[in-house]
Amino acid sequence: MAPPFKFLKQSLNKIQHLSADASLILKTQNQLLKDYQIHLKKQEKDFVATINFVPFKGFSSTMLHSLKLEVPLELTNETDTYYLPEHSLLINSHKSNDFDSYILTGSITQITSIEDEKSIADSYIRLIIPVIHGNPNLSLIHGYVYENDINKRHDTLIKIFIEEQEYNFYEIQQNGLYLAIDSLKPLSFEKFKNIVSNISNAFGFLTGKLFLDEGYFLFSNTQSFEIINDIYYTTYRDTIITNYSLYTINPFSLYNVTATTIEGIKEESEEITKWYEKVPGFSPDIFSNLCTMFFQKEAISRGAIVLLQGNNLALEIKGSAYSVSLEAITNQILKDHSISYPKPIENAEKADELIRKLTEVLHGEFNDETEENKTIRRIFGTKIRDMNAPTNADKLSKPFGIFGYVLKAYEIEVLKGRNLYQHGKLPTKKAEDDAVFKEVYFSCLVLHRLIATLVLKYAGFKGCIINYPKLHEHITKRVLDEDLFYEI
């Protein structure tokens, strides 16, 4: 079977042409800047826009502070016409030049050859993301090599299926590194943006690296993308690079060879090599499941983003981010499985009767209509009405049973303590800085693994992930009788 083939030359030429320095005429109904020349220069993220503005009689610089331009703004020259969508042009500075003119500078976060985004019919769409920082390492997922029309490299391509539609996720190496996602059937721009966002999120969740910053959408009438009709550039959130990949196919990245003799080195290496059988390339089917889950279940996709952001937060607030992530994911899983939260009193009639009696006692003891008593009745009344609510630990433990995962004693303790993060407290009774750091760090590592376990199990994953509580036990001093690979 021949490897997949990608026409990339025209896509990259289109990107290169748009990114080249250019001078265009600004077409706008606003008489202040109408028909002015605007110079565009691509920088690492977004475009710099410069206008040499000549003030007229009666001009005041305050006019620039309240500048409003109707959209879409048209930029044109002899060869090209582009449009700026709403809020994509920000004029953020201006300065006088010899008192006779102003140099207006600003940034452009979106620019496109499409006049009206709403008018776009279903198309074959390709997203190309320049990788500005870090290395995506798509080879982590078991995929294909593909051929192309720009070089002889055989880079990695992953076939992803979301709701029975195929998308290709692959690397491009040509004067830099790019990630690309193709639709293999025509679809709406709005849906494709949602799809590629969740593919990126799923890959970020798995690898600990979310590559975004900016992207170029290319539109074609054919599946081959041999001819590109339009281009749409946009900036995104900043790329997130963390050191918390969930999966690795290289056991030697976790296990060090510490022996000092040839025999010892050989023996240790053989033991480490045995792990290769348990950590093959990540299944593309499971990755497709992960992408589909993120696409269909916004709460889980959002929880994954919070987890990624939490990876780079200071320890004092890392646990809070993980707690928010776990809560969002838990709520979605319990909802999907129609599971109600376990309550201390399962019999609703008995619970209601107890609440009624306690409420009567409260109102009997504090029946005067003073402001103090009103406050007491309001605060205690709320607590009484909520007294039969499930505990957070019980609720957060529930979804693990759905997937047959048995929580360890220390994991249950971490779940019990995670609610403290939400109240500005830390799950430790110790006061010494070093002891607090070790306990809180251990708690965060366990929360991170629990979140990874839930999401991956929901996607159908069975296998070994990186065991960070074990990997970092030299820091936490919590020695675990576990391997550096953790089977879930």
Q: Could you give the count of Cα atoms lying within 13 Å of 423 in the half-sphere of its Cβ?
A: 6
Total-model pTM: 0.87
Q: Could you give the count of Cα atoms lying within 13 Å of 256 in the half-sphere of its Cβ?
A: 4
> Looking at 63, 79, 112, which one is the last position of a domain?
112
Number of domains in the chain: 3
Distance CA 87, CA 377 (A): 49
Q: Please check whether residues 374 and 333 belong to one and the same domain.
A: no
Which pLDDT belongs to residue 161? 98
> First and final CA of the chain: distance in angstroms?
34
Residue 100 lies in a domain: yes
Q: Please check whether residues 336 and 451 belong to one and the same domain.
A: yes
Q: Please check whether residues 364 and 468 belong to one and the same domain.
A: no
Q: Please check whether residues 60 and 96 belong to one and the same domain.
A: yes
Distance CA 419, CA 319 (A): 10
Q: Please check whether residues 402 and 362 belong to one and the same domain.
A: no
Q: Please check whether residues 370 and 468 belong to one and the same domain.
A: no
Strand partners, 73: 84
Distance CA 39, CA 37 (A): 7
Residue 234 lies in a domain: no
Closest residue by Cα to residue 73 from 102, 101, 32, 41:
32
Q: Which domain holds residue 456?
A: 297-341+390-487
Is residue 436 exposed (0-12), middle (13-18) or buried (19+ Cβ within 10 Å)? Answer: middle
> Looking at 91, 112, 133, which one is the last position of a domain?
112
Q: Please check whether residues 302 and 404 belong to one and the same domain.
A: yes
Q: Please check whether residues 398 and 337 belong to one and the same domain.
A: yes
Which pLDDT belongs to residue 429? 60
Is residue 95 exposed (0-12), middle (13-18) or buried (19+ Cβ within 10 Å)? Answer: exposed
Radius of gyration of the chain (CA): 28
Q: Which amino acid is at 322?
A: Y
Which pLDDT belongs to residue 308? 96
Which pLDDT belongs to residue 446? 97
> Looking at 385, 413, 446, which one is the last position of a domain?
385
Closest residue by Cα to residue 402 from 332, 466, 468:
332
Residue 337 lies in a domain: yes
Query: What does 265-320 look like in DSSP terms, one character per residue?
Result: HHHHHHHHHGGGGTS-SBPHHHHHHHHHHHHH-HHHHHHHHHHHHHHTS-HHHHHH
Q: Are strands 73-76 and 177-183 parallel, antiparallel or unpaired?
A: unpaired
Closest residue by Cα to residue 54 from 32, 38, 74, 39:
32
Which pLDDT belongs to residue 416? 86
Q: Are 308 and 208 in contact (CB under 8 A)?
A: yes
Q: Please check whether residues 354 and 414 belong to one and the same domain.
A: no
Residues of the chain with pLDDT under 70: 1, 61, 64-66, 97-100, 152, 154, 341-342, 390-391, 419-433
Q: Please check whether residues 371 and 483 belong to one and the same domain.
A: no
Q: Is the peptide bond before 72 cis (omega within 30 degrees of 0)?
A: yes
Residue 256 lies in a domain: no
Q: Please check whether residues 404 and 483 belong to one and the same domain.
A: yes
Residue 123 lies in a domain: no
Which pLDDT belongs to residue 196? 98
Q: Could you give the count of Cα atoms lying within 13 Å of 79 in the half-sphere of its Cβ?
A: 5
CA 32 to chain centroid:
40
Residue 233 lies in a domain: no
Which pLDDT belongs to residue 329? 97
Residue 407 lies in a domain: yes
Q: Please check whether residues 318 and 353 belong to one and the same domain.
A: no
Residue 253 lies in a domain: no
